[in-house]
Structure formats: structure tokens, C-alpha cells
Amino acid sequence: MRARPAAWSEHKARVRQALVDAALELFAEQGYESTSTEQVAARAGVSPRTFFRYFATKESVLFFGEDDYIRSFVGVYLAQPESLSEFQAMRAAFVTLAPGVARLRERIRLYHVAVASSFLLRGKEHDNQQG
């Protein structure tokens, strides 16, 4: 018997999130270079092969979701009434998304610790911020 599409989608989201959480925790504890994808998979309770079904590289698990917030912001921003000024529309979008960001505070902290642990990641973060 096959799982319902909604149930399968929820399962995939849980596995992906478990991998992201495990990676962030391990990168923050051990450093990015000292952490293997096998360790991430083990902490998430999945096989190394499953890791690579969700993420192409160790780096991609760290930067997963980077564009999600931007896409969310753009969607909420564009949904604002045209009668609002650009500033008012941006403010409304940020206010709408703020509760979600507050829930991500620990994940964001771990991300910064992980990036700080690696010269390579610090360079990538710098490049991302530049453009």
C-alpha cells in the first residue's frame, strides 16, 4: 500500500529538517570540516545514501533554506495592497514573517557558528552577501 501524497510529502519534509538540524548541530559542535555526511546522517537517524537523496553536498545542507526566506518575503511583499508605499509594504511583510524568524533563532545561531568554523564557508558567506 502506497503512502498518501500528503503523508509522503510530510515525511520528506521531516527527514529534510532532521538532516538540516543534525548538520547544524554537528557543524557547530565539531566544525564544518571535521563533520562527515555519514555523521550527519547517523545523527538524523537515516542512512548516508538517504542524505544524498536530499542534499547533493555537505555544503548544500548548510545553505538549504537560504532562498526560502527571500521567496517567502517576496510573496508576502507582493501580496500587500498597492496603496501602501514601498516602505510600508516591506514593513508589513517583515512583521508578517517575524514570528517564523523568532522560531528559527537557535538554528540561525548554529548556522553562524558553523560558518565561523570554516574559512571556506566564511568566504562563501562573504560572496553571498556581496551580491
pLDDT in tens, 7-48: 888 889 899 999 999 999 999 999 999 999 999 999 999 999
Query: Which residue reads 503523508 in cell numbers?
Result: 7
Domains of the chain: 5-130 (1.10.357.10)
Instruction: Give one DSSP letter per residue of 60-99, joined into a string.
Output: HHHSTTHHHHHHHHHHHHHTS-TTS-HHHHHHHHHHHHHH
Alpha carbons 42 and 52: distance in angstroms, whole number? 13
Q: Is the pTM of this model over 0.75?
A: no
- The per-residue pLDDT for range 84-110, each reduced to its tens digit, is 999 999 999 989 988 877 777 888 888
